[in-house]
Amino acid sequence: MAAQNKVGIAFENMFWSGHHQRFCSQAEELIDFVQALDNPYAGICWDTGHANLSGQHQAEAIRKMGGLLKAMHINDNTGKPKKDEHLIPFFGTVDWQPIIKALREIGYTGNFSFEVRKPFRALPKELNVDLLRFLHSVGEHLIQLA
């Protein structure tokens, strides 16, 4: 239906279900899945936090995905199992420089969607605009890393 209406769908890497990794938590599984669909409207959404929790080498995964990568969920975490903390980049253990370098190498031109809801929940609403400005600065810094 999405293809008939020329709407793209990006499948996201996930990281666990109970004690087991979910299918498509690894880059290779996502690539195989999207290629099996054989549809130009199907692609991949890479979640940096999920990949960190899965222990993946993110730059290598991004290079493998290449043009199949259509969207990015940008967030950080401490890499502790089952703790998808959705931290602001640089507040966790994600190594950002190799990720940005790999995105440049594959010619990624899509958006960065920050998935950092917890900081917004912690602050009074009056500070949300300041936090958004800070996130903008973080994004500007990220794209300068490579």
- Give the homologous superfamily in CATH for domain 9-143: Divalent-metal-dependent TIM barrel enzymes (3.20.20.150)
pLDDT attached to residue 88: 96
Round the CA-based radius of gyration of the chain to a whole number and report it.
16
Q: pLDDT, tens digit, for every residue of 27-75?
A: 999 999 999 999 999 999 999 999 999 889 999 999 999 999 999 999 9
Residue 79: is it exposed, middle or buried by C-beta count within 10 angstroms (0-12/13-18/19+)?
Answer: middle
pTM, 2 dp: 0.92
When pLDDT is cut at 50, 70 and 90, the band that residue 20 belongs to is low
pLDDT in tens, 91-142: 999 999 999 999 999 999 998 899 998 888 889 999 999 999 999 999 999 9
Domain ranges of the chain: 9-143
